[in-house]
Amino acid sequence: MSIAQRAEPDSRASLLASAQRLRAAVASRILGQERVLDEILMAILAGGHALLVGVPGLAKTLLIRSVAEAMRLEFRRIQFTPDLVPADITGTELLEEDPTTGHRAFRFVKGPVFGNIILADEINRTPPRTQAALLEAMQEHKVTAAGQTLSLPEPFFVLATQNPIEQEGTYPLPEAQLDRFLFDVRIGYPSAADEVSVLRATTGLEEQPIAPVLDGAEALGLQRLTRALPAAEPLLKYAASLVRATRPDEPGVPDIVKRYVRWGAGPRGGQSLVLGAKAHALISGRPVTRPDDVKRVAHPVLRHRVLLNYAAETDGVTLEHVIDAVLGAVRPPEGGIPL
């Protein structure tokens, strides 16, 4: 065995320990949202973006800021408003004049998208042309501006928030942009005990800052480790079967899909299921991916990739009902998964 091979387990253990420290650091400030925190961390480990949907006052912005604070990465916040234009995100050219020579030249000033962790706060409050300015950045990690294609710093995450109850003056995200998000994370109200803990923690002395526990190199290492995690052929077929079962034109899909689904998830949904499952296995401390990992991420992966029809709205059928039916109809691999 080579020295590099002997060092690999130690490096892997060190990265996993860093991920656990990151989770513990953020959990010390955010109370009662363990499921949401895990989904955000899974998105980061998988190298994807996350959309956080919840009513005001559920600490969506604080959660994202706390994650950024616990990482030695450049954090940028973009507050989306109706008057925001694409240049406010990507950057703009300024005409500068040298006071000594009088020579004039254009200089490109980078916008707030040139960061590692981007908080897109209330992303549905800005017009589509500005929302679309994030598309290339989210997919390609690049920005085309001033006639040049500029690479964004790595790692790069977009964590966006959205208010689901106040729709006046908002612009719903198009399906093409929704599909760029690895997870659609839903934040609910805390339990009674957690709410009391929140009141106790937030109405006393000022909170102490979170000490950074993870840097950019470690974040990239965790992303590589996530992708390197094995996923056996039966698990890949299981993920593909789940995605295909959301399409109403496919044979043998559940009746609820045929009756209430207009469009099902595309191939990117299957990719997200596998990557999300690998990330869940990693934060669970397991070296292999299991069908339970796929089930765990099915809701955040599929809920923004399945489009219901009008009949579903009139009959009170939700996306959660459809995904639960798909999970019940598609049987996971049995007898263990060979590697």
How far is the CA of 182 from the CAs of 74, 210, 275, 334, in angstroms? 21, 26, 9, 27
Those residues whose C-beta lies under 8 Å from the C-beta of residue 263, and which sit 6 or more positions away, are 175, 247, 306, 307
62: left (phi over 0), alpha (psi -120 to 50) or beta: alpha
- What is the reported pLDDT for 166? 66
Mean pLDDT by 10 residues, the chain (339 residues): 43 76 79 84 91 80 83 88 88 79 78 89 87 83 80 90 75 83 88 78 71 84 89 93 94 92 92 94 86 94 93 92 94 66
Q: What is the structure's pLDDT at 167? A: 65
Check if the beta carbon of residue 171 is closer than 8 Å to that of residue 131: yes
Give me the pLDDT at residue 10, please.
54
Q: Given this model, what pLDDT does residue 65 score?
A: 82
- 3-class DSSP state of 71: strand
Residue 63's contacts (CB-CB under 8 Å, 6 or more residues apart) are: 26, 30, 33, 36, 37, 40, 52
Position 6 scores a pLDDT of: 40
CB 118 within 8 A of CB 79: no
Per-position DSSP letters for 317-334, written without gaps between them: --HHHHHHHHHHHSPPP-
Q: What confidence score (pLDDT) does residue 260 get?
A: 94
pLDDT at 295: 95
CA atoms within 13 A on the CB side of 98: 6
